[in-house]
Amino acid sequence: MMDRDTLLQLMGKIWNAYGLRLEQAFREAGLPINAEQYRFLRIVQDRPGQYQEIYARLLGRDRSSTTRMIQGLNRRGWIQRSLDKEQSELEQRDTRVKRIRLTEEGRAILDRAIQPAMTALFPAWENFPGEEREVLEQLLKRIYINIQ
């Protein structure tokens, strides 16, 4: 039986291997996006209009690396940062409290990336019948809840 530390290390290895496979799929499709950018854009798509701090927590990243990610995606034109009209004047001067949303270009790159991403993920599930897949999903959700 695997101890908890070994299990978490294995989960990290799985995540890293998937990231490499995902990046390879994007390169082969001629897409100018990497796994971290894809993950960030998917989170913004699923939860639009949040603050940087929220996305940092969802990604499990620190503020400075999230800031760099946001700046890079903003330069590419894939996201936009906008002030919340309900903020006070003092809050509006603080760039950390801007809401983040996908641009049309960001939606377009995600639309193009979905098929390569699904293709990259498919081999991970091909040897699992539906019932085993459901059990695995439930167990992984429980682990995630426990470590949050």
CATH number of the domain that 111 lies in? 1.10.10.10
What's the pLDDT tens digit per position in 26-60? 999 999 999 999 999 999 999 999 999 999 998 88
Decide which of 104 and 63 is more confident: 104
Report yes or no on 42 lying in a domain. Answer: yes
What's the pLDDT tens digit per position in 81-135? 987 666 556 555 665 568 999 999 999 999 999 999 999 888 878 888 889 989 9
| Amino acid identity, position 1 | M
User: Which token pair is 26?
Assistant: 């994007």
Report yes or no on 1 lying in a domain. Answer: no
* Tally of domains within the chain: 1
Which residue range(s) make up the domain with 70? 15-147
Give the residues across from 100 on adjacent strands: 50, 81
Report yes or no on 8 lying in a domain. Answer: no
- pLDDT the model gives residue 5: 85
55, 67 Cβ separation under 8 angstroms: no
126 torsion bin: left (phi>0), alpha (psi -120 to 50), beta (else): alpha
User: Which token pair is 53?
Assistant: 């701090």
Decide which of 143 and 112 is more confident: 112
pTM of the complete model: 0.81
C-alpha to C-alpha distance for 23 and 88, rounded to whole angstroms: 41
108, 102 Cβ separation under 8 angstroms: no
- pLDDT the model gives residue 91: 56
If you average pLDDT over residues 57-72, what whole number do you get? 92
Report yes or no on 4 lying in a domain. Answer: no
